[in-house]
Structure 1
Amino acid sequence: MGSHWLLTAGRRELLWGKNFLPDPLMLVFDDDDRRIDRTRYAALQARWSTDDGAETSNEELHHLYTYQAKAEDLVARLTLQGFGPTAVVEHAERYLDDEMGSEDSFLWGDIDKEYRTGKRLLQAMLTWESRNGRIMARGESRHDRSMSWAWDELLEAFDDPRFKLALGLTRTRRSTTVTLDLTDLLLGGWLEENEIPHRTARTRVANDVTANGRVIVITEGRTDAEFLTRALALARPELTDAFSFLDFEGTSAPGGTDRVVSLTRGMAAAKVMNRVVAVLDNDTAGKAAFEQLKRSNLAVTITATRLPDVELGSSYPTLGPNGMSHVNINGRAITIEMMFGQTVLQDSANLTLSPVRWTGYNSAVGEYQGEVEAKKLIQARIRTALSAPSIDHLDEEAAEGCRRLASMLIDATAEATPALSSDFSPLLWIRERESDANVSIDN
């Protein structure tokens, strides 16, 4: 037959369910709300172990395992999650207006004609529901049957349990205690004594965002994001929706290696659920920033990578105090402009490569920083090349560059490991026990 959970506001029943708790509902509760009478539970277990047929009174089972919070606290949390009273009422009214104007309206007994607007109908439904609670009157009155049907249809249209909870709390005094009673689930074996369902719910939601949410890609600047986005679209178009690049253009966000480091660390500090990949240039500044991030206490879902070495960079023309020379610039001056082959780097008149000019000395890694000259002109050539309708229209070097950049992003994302657990995986429990070993949750 299963076991049931019940959520009440004072004596009024708002929600109920069987066997399993919906994760969205548990997101509105926290550690301080959890109540479990371990003494009474241990006494019951001891008695049952010696007498299988022992009868148990309702008083002994009353509120053995619960979550309790004031209605005003739950309203505040629901509002933060997008289920504030104003929002849910507006959505419900809009839905009812739409249904009442439909030729195949679900409403029975002409209550749409009786109330005429979604606003008036919703208020009547809330009054009716607050009177009937969980036990929907379906037998005596045609009006009750119509209200019950309309209420069920409204909640089915907005199937998140927080929607009904928020609607129910609009007719609840803010000082009222809201109780989620899990006693039957505990005694029925659907919950363990040491299980913490609100934390498990958050873990599952975080895992879902981590594994299925877009990968946030942090780059040094607008051009890097632009070219990486286009390279991915050309090389792996089926994966473009899996990544989200910082919008430097729309937000005027500052760039640079120091910004990559600070923003990546900030996302780690904020415990961003999405996987994050920080992409740095393969130059001296990028190397120093990469080492900084490696030393940072980043979550396993956040990783850093550098642009790959390029064959062309093994002997590339450079300008320094001693004039022109050909040296290996991999790790010292490789930027996004170097990723698409020599055609975009060549002067169209004499076919010479635009040289790298050595600039400042970076004492952190003991190397000079280099930057390719005529960068704006090179970027314009790259934009023209990457405007091709497909990768088959690119020259081989540019196409290979797109593939390597796409592989770099994919490999880095694979390193930003999501939690390998499904909804009811024991891995959730293992991680919770490890992270909460020293945290007391008894009340």
Structure 2
Amino acid sequence: MGHHSYLVAGDGQFLYTRNHCDEELAALFNETDRKFIVADGSEVTPGEEWGESEYTFGYYTTANALRQRLNVQGFTSRRALADLAEGIAHWRKTYDSQSQLRERQARGETLFETLARPPREPAELLAAIGEAIRPRRPETSFATFQEYFQYEDEFAETVTDVEELRWFVEERSLIRLIIDQAPADTRVGLDLGGLTGCCVRLDTTRPIAGPTRERQLATLPDNAPLIVLTEGSTDSRLLTEAMHITHPHLVGFVRFIDYTGTKARGSAGALATMVKAFMAAGVANRFVAIADNDAGGHEALAKLKSQKLPMGCKVLHYPELPLLTSYPTVSPGSPAVSLTNVNGVAGSLEMYLGKDVLTIDGTLAPVRLGNFIPAVQRHQGALSKPHKGLVQKAFEEKIKTARRAQHSGTGDWSGVYAIIESIAHAFG
């Protein structure tokens, strides 16, 4: 049809796009689906002698293959049917609201275009689409020309209805509805033959589906939440709760990985392994891995940070904190407490939960230095296990109080605020 591209499903043609290809549809195909097809339906390759045969060019696969591609994108049959019911309801509501405009048009007034007719019921429409996909009856099989023209009009009406649905149903759901009416081995595709004529000279040697898919994937990180990977479930849970207080405007835009119900062990080494797995899987979301600002965290991530990371990946540590530049510290083999800079030595999450919750019995819970780590030339430090539990419990109470008051109150939130800020500005 003219200079259009369109979806082919069996003998049906749907979703016409004038003078260019539909990128939403093109992105569902691979370059291996690129085909030249002659009039008898057989495939040919460029350079073959085609004789006088007409051919069409496009991307073709089977209905089953395209259904599976849509499945993994979340466009299942169930979702498509739900979208159709909602879309038809919206179509019907729009049609009913235009009744007075149609009456004025009937009197000869020039107005904006209105819907020509109300929608069919979903089951009736889907049956009509299925009929349009099946092999077409030859003209000679009809008793009269009137029967043949009526038959053709029914196909045209179905195509028009599908076009109308583009206003009311997400396109990939609409594609799913169409191909669900086709047998699994039905040829489906994006026909680009109409764009190779005199007015629209599409270069048939240039890849189309592959680059289109790459552009589609490139936009995903701009719309999906930023994923934050932490050393373990406690960090993830407490930072999620803290963000609701310090940065409520980021809720829904930043998502800390949820370890609930998993047996994932918490450590900087496990975090490094998870980052490598995300990179190997080609995770499209932008993601930040953030580790403790301690000796063990710096040792575990040193090799990873020296690598060239994907554009959508950042590896961070909890930021330097003024409170930790002069903090009570107990050295190995000595009961004496001295003030020491423990940034990069003992900067686990507990050290960022606030001076108020770190204060136990009137004094700051001391950091105890442990093993010396040659790779980073410093001791690993941490709170004692009992102190660590008390600090976490006190912070959870602080969270509850802040939620009841609907603000952060007068407590010290500077540490967790600095962590969320570093995440928010990880990409510049």
- When normalised by structure 2's length, the TM-score is 0.75
Percent identity between the aligned chains? 27
1:238-249 to structure 2, matched below 5 A, reads 238-249=249-260
Give the direction of change, closer, same or farther, for the CA distance of 1:249–1:109 in structure 2 (3 Å limit). Answer: closer
Work out the CA distance in 2 between the residues paired with 1:184 and 1:99. Answer: 30
Note the C-alpha offset of 1:205. 2.0
Note the C-alpha offset of 1:282. 0.4
What is the match of residue 405 of structure 1? 419
Report whether the alignment pairs 1:126 with 2:129: yes
What is the match of residue 334 of structure 2? 322
Work out the CA distance in 2 between the residues paired with 1:100 and 1:211. Answer: 34
1:346-385 to structure 2, matched below 5 A, reads 346-348=359-361, 351-373=362-384, 374-385=387-398
What is the match of residue 55 of structure 2? 62
Partner SS, residue 6 of structure 1: strand
What is the match of residue 267 of structure 2? 256
What is the match of residue 331 of structure 1? 344
- 1:318-345 CA distance string (max 9 Å, x none): 2221222422211110111212442221
Unaligned runs of 5+ in 2: 37-44, 99-114, 137-146
What is the match of residue 312 of structure 1? 323
Note the C-alpha offset of 1:198. 1.6
Letter matched to residue 16 of structure 1: Y
CA root-mean-square deviation: 3.9
Partner SS, residue 66 of structure 1: strand
Give the direction of change, closer, same or farther, for the CA distance of 1:359–1:186 in structure 2 (3 Å limit). Answer: farther
Work out the CA distance in 2 between the residues paired with 1:97 and 1:184. Answer: 34
Give the direction of change, closer, same or farther, for the CA distance of 1:323–1:225 in structure 2 (3 Å limit). Answer: same
User: Is residue 277–residue 413 contact of structure 1 (8 Å, CA) maintained in 2?
Assistant: no
What is the match of residue 225 of structure 1? 236
Letter matched to residue 294 of structure 1: K
Note the C-alpha offset of 1:13. 2.2
User: Is residue 215–residue 277 contact of structure 1 (8 Å, CA) maintained in 2?
Assistant: yes
- 1:371-418 CA distance string (max 9 Å, x none): 1120111112222333414555234xx23324322221122243xxxx
1:86-97 to structure 2, matched below 5 A, reads 88=80, 92=84
1:154-193 to structure 2, matched below 5 A, reads 154-160=165-171, 162-187=172-197, 188=199, 191-192=202-203
Partner SS, residue 320 of structure 2: coil
- 1:100-135 CA distance string (max 9 Å, x none): 9999599999997xxxx754x2453234534799xx
Work out the CA distance in 1 between the residues paired with 2:325 and 2:75. Answer: 58
Of the candidates 204, 214, 217, which is equivalent to residue 203 of structure 1? 214
Give the direction of change, closer, same or farther, for the CA distance of 1:84–1:372 in structure 2 (3 Å limit). Answer: closer
Structure 1 range deviating more: 322-331 or 184-193: 184-193
User: Is residue 61–residue 183 contact of structure 1 (8 Å, CA) maintained in 2?
Assistant: no
Work out the CA distance in 2 between the residues paired with 1:156 and 1:234. Answer: 40
User: Is residue 13–residue 159 contact of structure 2 (8 Å, CA) maintained in 1?
Assistant: no
Give the direction of change, closer, same or farther, for the CA distance of 1:328–1:190 in structure 2 (3 Å limit). Answer: farther
What is the match of residue 16 of structure 2? 16
Report whether the alignment pairs 1:75 with 2:67: yes
User: How many residues matched?
Assistant: 383
User: Is residue 125–residue 151 contact of structure 1 (8 Å, CA) maintained in 2?
Assistant: no
Give the direction of change, closer, same or farther, for the CA distance of 1:127–1:402 in structure 2 (3 Å limit). Answer: closer
Work out the CA distance in 1 between the residues paired with 2:91 and 2:6. Answer: 30
Work out the CA distance in 2 between the residues paired with 1:377 and 1:236. Answer: 25
Letter matched to residue 80 of structure 1: V
Work out the CA distance in 2 between the residues paired with 1:185 and 1:150. Answer: 24
Work out the CA distance in 1 between the residues paired with 2:214 and 2:337. Answer: 56
Structure 1 range deviating more: 88-97 or 242-251: 88-97
User: Is residue 310–residue 330 contact of structure 1 (8 Å, CA) maintained in 2?
Assistant: yes
User: Is residue 206–residue 273 contact of structure 1 (8 Å, CA) maintained in 2?
Assistant: yes
Partner SS, residue 285 of structure 2: coil
Give the direction of change, closer, same or farther, for the CA distance of 1:96–1:5 in structure 2 (3 Å limit). Answer: closer
Give the direction of change, closer, same or farther, for the CA distance of 1:277–1:140 in structure 2 (3 Å limit). Answer: same
Work out the CA distance in 1 between the residues paired with 2:254 and 2:291. Answer: 17
What is the match of residue 343 of structure 1? 356
Note the C-alpha offset of 1:80. 2.9
Partner SS, residue 260 of structure 2: helix
- When normalised by structure 1's length, the TM-score is 0.73
User: Is residue 325–residue 343 contact of structure 2 (8 Å, CA) maintained in 1?
Assistant: yes
What is the match of residue 42 of structure 2? none
Give the direction of change, closer, same or farther, for the CA distance of 1:59–1:403 in structure 2 (3 Å limit). Answer: farther
Work out the CA distance in 1 between the residues paired with 2:280 and 2:261. Answer: 25
Work out the CA distance in 2 between the residues paired with 1:12 and 1:2. Answer: 16
User: Is residue 5–residue 22 contact of structure 2 (8 Å, CA) maintained in 1?
Assistant: no
Work out the CA distance in 2 between the residues paired with 1:148 and 1:300. Answer: 43
What is the match of residue 409 of structure 2? 393
Letter matched to residue 412 of structure 1: A
What is the match of residue 103 of structure 2? none
Work out the CA distance in 1 between the residues paired with 2:187 and 2:134. Answer: 18
Letter matched to residue 29 of structure 2: F
Give the direction of change, closer, same or farther, for the CA distance of 1:275–1:16 in structure 2 (3 Å limit). Answer: same
Work out the CA distance in 2 between the residues paired with 1:235 and 1:166. Answer: 43
The structure where helix makes up a greater share of residues is 1
Give the direction of change, closer, same or farther, for the CA distance of 1:150–1:15 in structure 2 (3 Å limit). Answer: closer
Work out the CA distance in 2 between the residues paired with 1:190 and 1:390. Answer: 61
Work out the CA distance in 2 between the residues paired with 1:93 and 1:344. Answer: 53
Letter matched to residue 6 of structure 1: Y
